[in-house]
Structure 1
Amino acid sequence: MKSKKWLIAAGVFGMVLTGSAGVYAGTQLETIKAYLNHGLAIEVNGQKFTPTGDQGKKLAPITYQGSTYLPVRSIADALKTEVKYDSQNNKVSIGSSSSSGGSTSSGNSGSTSPSTGTNTQAAGVKSKYLPADFPLPKDAKATSLIESNVGGNDKKVLLTYTTKETLLAVGTSYKDYYQTKNLSQNTQDIQADGFSIVGREDGKYAVTITGSVSATNKDLNEITVVWGEE
């Protein structure tokens, strides 16, 4: 897609960069050649967003081997999702634990029969918080799924899945789906090589969906869904 805007989700799932250069002795760090992407526009739920670090310093996305990475803490804060760094175990945790009302999962988390492509219980995707009629291709397989429900309110979903369905078909299915909803904002850019959909129903929810060819498997398409209650 010639004028495609990458949205937030890819960066949240792409926290860790790996490369093939030399490894620093005694660490898990590897040297790589990457680029600060100052020209990339970022939107969170349809609104322009600029990641920031300590003391409000602006942070640029990083582009490496065809993938784009965003700062996880800044993005999690924008989504009102908890993020913790465990220095002792060298681990980053995103989302609340199940005991506090949230959940974090990845990979194939469902075990039901394949869906007809019209609900959120596909064989490879099982979301607690997406609407029950949210369209999914029958072969959809989650590569990342982060869900939170802090304090019992404001459910948030950050989902990336792969499918062999064409980008045009998947994008059109979401376009048709949201045309039946009472949205105050509904914009689509759907093309054969990628799509972007942004929608909002005031006071209820906002959603951003993007699709592109998978960077790691050209036979698959990768779809990212960012959905959250307002």
Structure 2
Amino acid sequence: MKSKKWAITVGVLGMVLTGSAGVYAGTQLETIKAYLNHGLAIEVNGQKFTPTGEQGKKLAPITYQGSTYLPVRSIAEALNTEVKYDSQNNKVSIGSTSSSGAPTTGNSGTTAPSTGANTQAQGVKSKYLPADFPLPKDAKTISLVENVMDGKKKVSLTYSTKETLTVLGASYRDYYQNQNLTQNVQDLGADDFSIVGRADGKFAVSISGSSSNINEGDNEVTVVWGEE
């Protein structure tokens, strides 16, 4: 499960930074032979996307030794992820940071995730999840696919958080407790959790959480939700 989810993230972290001439001033550069791949179509959350650089100039993916690299700043902006380039230290930072420069940690793990407007703000921008769907304050989207099939909304979301799996599992358990699910299977633990439920004629949902095998201290949650 994790290998597929993190393939997207690792790809983003390996993308080429654009828009700053200072990148080329370093001493660690190596000349390579690569190709601009004008034939590759890009979609972000199911929508056609064309990467752009300064002054709206279109950017093409680069193919090198069987791997394809995308412009990190343009892609990150499309995914609502902050990217900063520190020319003095020749460093690229992806994601939000605190004033001290350390990654923002969000909840301490002692309170349940906040609900409501979080589905439309901060790190997760879901159009179709219920407005009160519980999400931790520090949730950051890893992948999000939303579409409408036969007039019914479908969502597949994976996000990362510092929130504990115990708190997350309990929050989702409590959220669905009074929704009259005809099928409700729960497996809650400190190291992982899963919740599968169905409300006849309304929706079906599957939620699973586990620790990240990429970023120590992070947890990953995958939500698959769809109208019936």
For the aligned pair, the TM-score class normalised by the smaller chain equals 0.5 to 0.7
Count of residues in Structure 1 that have an aligned counterpart in Structure 2 = 148
Alignment-derived partner of residue 128 in structure 2? 129
Bigger helix fraction: 2
Alignment-derived partner of residue 206 in structure 1? 204
Alignment-derived partner of residue 183 in structure 1? 181
| 3-state SS in 1 of match to 2:220 | strand
Distance change (3 Å), C-alpha of 1:95 and 1:218: closer
| C-alpha contact (below 8 Å) 2:203/2:225 kept by paired residues | yes
| C-alpha contact (below 8 Å) 1:13/1:144 kept by paired residues | no
Distance change (3 Å), C-alpha of 1:229 and 1:108: farther
Distance change (3 Å), C-alpha of 1:161 and 1:204: same
Q: For 1:198 and 1:160, how far apart are their aligned partners in 2?
A: 16
1:97 positional shift: 3.4
In the TM superposition, 1:1-230 aligns within 5 A as: 11=4, 14=7, 89-91=39-41, 93=43, 96-97=46-47, 106=79, 108=81, 117-119=114-116, 120-150=119-149, 153-230=151-228
1:138 positional shift: 1.1
1:122 positional shift: 4.1
Alignment-derived partner of residue 95 in structure 2? none
- TM-score, with length taken from structure 2: 0.55
Counterpart code for 1:89? G
| C-alpha contact (below 8 Å) 2:5/2:158 kept by paired residues | no
Distance change (3 Å), C-alpha of 1:17 and 1:221: closer
The runs of 5 or more residues in structure 1 that have no matched partner are: 1-5, 19-25, 29-86, 99-104
Distance change (3 Å), C-alpha of 1:150 and 1:174: same
The two structures, once aligned, show a CA RMSD in angstroms of 3.3
Alignment-derived partner of residue 26 in structure 2? none
| 3-state SS in 1 of match to 2:208 | strand
Q: For 1:15 and 1:125, how far apart are their aligned partners in 2?
A: 16
1:219 positional shift: 1.2
Superposed CA deviations along residues 26-73 of structure 1, whole A, max 9, x for unmatched, are 999xxxxxxxxxxxxxxxxxxxxxxxxxxxxxxxxxxxxxxxxxxxxx
- TM-score, with length taken from structure 1: 0.54
1:10 positional shift: 6.9
| 3-state SS in 2 of match to 1:174 | helix
Counterpart code for 1:155? K
| C-alpha contact (below 8 Å) 1:118/1:135 kept by paired residues | yes
Superposed CA deviations along residues 124-178 of structure 1, whole A, max 9, x for unmatched, are 1121100011000111111111111246x11111111111110010011000101
| 3-state SS in 2 of match to 1:155 | strand
Structure with the bigger RCO (C-alpha within 8 Å, sep 6+) is: 1
1:11 positional shift: 3.9
Q: For 2:171 and 2:122, how far apart are their aligned partners in 1?
A: 19
